[in-house]
């Protein structure tokens, strides 16, 4: 791991010298020789401005379009009509979505890699067996795992299965990936709804009831909200917790509201089982979940995001773990973007607005890390030649920079409003103050992922379960 980490540091130095240092020298040379840089500046600032506007639109939309949380009784006569009016304009969030028909048989498909996750898998299975509401049609839990060696934990897993008829233990000897584990579990699943879970995920009790509300109305996949339950462990986990509230509470929710489409995020996704058996997961993709999402949408299936379907998970607690996890995500997104973007443009299952929005997600968001790095060389160049910054461009820079800063803070405040739980105020303050550094870190990871992709490096490091993250954490929905 140390050698691998050293190689990653070298990649960061190389890519950033290439993308920041050389352009800064080049821009400075042009300015010193009387060349104007209006076009490069305008392009970079326009991209920043567009990104800020999209964040503000998404945050505002997600702030005022909320899926339901809890049912309550009205104590005042005027509350009932007021609640009906809020529902009509799309801002009501007080009633649980109840299914039109009884919930059919459901399956949990839990993927695990042992021994990496042997310290947490039993706790997850006990949570599913003891905390989840039983659908009218029944429940089954399939643990599909792979391991290079026989482990003592396997005897405990089989003992648990003997005590719980709903639980099936499936060792997939030929598997080398999560995708192969889930595909094997899917072959024996009997539920009408299949929920895919990672080994550290603990869904809320009413997850299938909420998902069935949408599936019974014609949706094929429902993605829930993932939140961090070990957020109090350290500073990194706190930042990831707030980031997840932005991601699942704002970005994914707004995508679903604005385009009536979404993505399956790898866990806490509820599939119509017959659809998942057609789509399956490709073990050759670094992000098999995004690949399955795009193939589903391209085949005309409908995906929705409901942020009231909550599961908790464990966040990385070390920079190394965080780095390799996010690099795999960035690498996988790039891979899927290049593979499916043209098919998306030609697809009859996307309208023009959806094609625009998904192009923004696939191409624009992936390339933003590269573009954002070009802001620094331009600024460095103008430090060398201050007089080359004309008045109109200075105003445009202040507009784009100011709106970008505002959009980040605005999204965090919007996420606090619709958060799944009440976090300490200090978490939000620290995240706002640390935001420029956090975004820079993620952009650096994305740049290294692009570098690896161009070099043809497709290996990835398994996200280790830190011993500190193996202790029990109590999580309550807010």
Looking at the structure, tell me whether residues 78 and 47 fall in a common domain.
no
Residue 338 lies in a domain: yes
Q: Which of 92, 107, 140 marks a domain boundary?
A: 92
**What Rg, from alpha-carbon coordinates, does the chain have?**
24
In total, the chain counts a number of residues equal to 478
Q: In total, how many domains does the chain have?
A: 2
Looking at the structure, tell me whether residues 223 and 74 fall in a common domain.
no
CA angle 62, 279, 359 (to 5 degrees): 45
Which of 175-189, 254-268, 327-341 holds the top average pLDDT?
175-189
Looking at the structure, tell me whether residues 377 and 402 fall in a common domain.
yes
Looking at the structure, tell me whether residues 86 and 228 fall in a common domain.
no
pTM of the model: 0.86
Looking at the structure, tell me whether residues 225 and 82 fall in a common domain.
no
Of residues 98 and 362, which shows the higher confidence score?
A: 362
Residue 99 lies in a domain: no
Residue 300 lies in a domain: yes
Looking at the structure, tell me whether residues 1 and 35 fall in a common domain.
yes
Question: pLDDT tens digit string along 124-148?
Answer: 999 999 999 999 999 999 999 999 9
Looking at the structure, tell me whether residues 361 and 314 fall in a common domain.
yes
Q: Residue 126 belongs to what H/E stretch?
A: helix 121-131
Looking at the structure, tell me whether residues 284 and 350 fall in a common domain.
yes
Residue 255 lies in a domain: yes
Q: Are 204 and 266 in contact (CB under 8 A)?
A: no
Domain membership of residue 380 as a residue range: 1-65+219-478
Which residues neighbour 158 within 8 Å (Cβ) at sequence distance 6 or greater? 169
Q: What is the pLDDT of residue 217?
A: 86
Of residues 8 and 465, which shows the higher confidence score?
A: 8
121 three-class SS: helix
Residue 116 lies in a domain: no
Question: pLDDT tens digit string along 64-114?
Answer: 765 544 455 556 666 667 666 655 554 444 455 666 689 999 999 999 999
Looking at the structure, tell me whether residues 32 and 77 fall in a common domain.
no
Looking at the structure, tell me whether residues 80 and 7 fall in a common domain.
no
Whole-number Cα distances in Å, 121 to 124, 127, 156, 333, 476: 5, 10, 11, 28, 20
Q: At what angle do helices 365-373 and 375-384 cross, to 10 degrees?
A: 20
Q: Over the chain, what is the mean pLDDT?
A: 84
For residues 38-64, average pLDDT: 81
Q: Which of 92, 110, 138 marks a domain boundary?
A: 92
Looking at the structure, tell me whether residues 238 and 294 fall in a common domain.
yes
Residue 137 lies in a domain: no
Looking at the structure, tell me whether residues 274 and 328 fall in a common domain.
yes
Q: Which of 92, 110, 135 marks a domain boundary?
A: 92
Strands 139-146 and 106-113: parallel
Q: What is the pLDDT of residue 264?
A: 96
Say if residue 227's pLDDT is above 80: yes
Residue 380 lies in a domain: yes
Residue 4 lies in a domain: yes
Least confident of 262-266, 354-358, 392-396: 392-396
């Amino acid at each position: 791991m140390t050698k691998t980490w050293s190689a990653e540091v070298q990649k960061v130095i190389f890519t950033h010298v290439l993308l920041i240092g050389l352009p800064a020298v080049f821009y400075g040379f042009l300015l010193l020789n009387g060349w104007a840089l209006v076009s490069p500046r305008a392009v970079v600032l326009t991209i920043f401005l567009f990104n800020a506007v999209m964040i503000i639109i998404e945050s505002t939309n997600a702030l005022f379009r909320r899926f339901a949380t809890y049912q309550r009784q009205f104590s005042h006569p005027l509350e009932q009509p007021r609640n009906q009016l809020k529902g009509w304009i799309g801002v009501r969030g007080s009633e649980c979505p109840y299914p039109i028909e009884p919930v059919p048989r459901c399956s949990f498909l839990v993927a695990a890699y042992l021994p990496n996750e042997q310290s947490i898998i039993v706790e997850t299975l006990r949570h599913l067996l003891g905390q989840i509401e039983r659908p009218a049609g029944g429940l089954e839990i399939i643990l599909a795992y792979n391991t290079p060696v026989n482990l003592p934990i396997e005897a405990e897993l089989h003992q648990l299965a003997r005590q719980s008829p709903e639980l099936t233990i499936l060792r997939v000897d030929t598997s080398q990936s999560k995708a192969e584990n889930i595909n094997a579990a899917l072959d024996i699943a009997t539920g009408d709804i299949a929920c895919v879970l990672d080994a550290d995920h603990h869904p809320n009790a009413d997850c299938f009831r909420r998902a069935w509300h949408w599936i019974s109305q014609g949706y094929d996949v429902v993605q829930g909200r993932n939140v961090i339950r070990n957020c109090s462990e350290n500073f990194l986990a706190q930042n990831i917790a707030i980031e997840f509230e932005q991601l699942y509470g704002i970005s994914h929710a707004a995508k679903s509201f604005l385009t009536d489409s979404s993505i399956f995020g790898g866990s806490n996704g509820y599939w119509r089982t017959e659809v998942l058996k057609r789509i399956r997961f490709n073990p050759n993709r670094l992000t098999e979940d995004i690949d399955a999402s795009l193939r589903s949408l391209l085949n005309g299936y409908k995906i929705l995001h409901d942020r009231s379907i909550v599961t908790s998970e464990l966040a990385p607690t070390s920079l190394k773990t965080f780095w390799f996890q996010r690099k795999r995500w960035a690498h996988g997104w790039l891979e899927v973007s290049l593979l499916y973007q043209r098919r998306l443009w030609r697809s009859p299952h996307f309208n023009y607005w959806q094609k625009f929005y998904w192009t923004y997600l696939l191409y624009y968001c992936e390339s933003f890390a590269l573009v954002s790095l070009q802001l620094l060389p331009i600024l460095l160049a103008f430090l060398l030649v201050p007089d080359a910054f004309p008045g109109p461009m200075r105003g445009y820079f202040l507009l784009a920079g100011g709106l970008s800063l505002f959009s980040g803070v605005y999204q965090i405040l919007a996420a606090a409003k619709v958060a799944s739980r009440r976090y300490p105020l200090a978490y939000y303050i620290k995240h706002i103050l640390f935001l420029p550094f956090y975004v820079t870190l993620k952009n650096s990871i994305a740049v290294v992922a692009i570098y690896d992709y161009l070099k043809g490096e497709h290996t990835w490091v398994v996200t280790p379960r830190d011993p500190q993250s193996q202790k029990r954490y109590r999580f309550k929905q807010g």
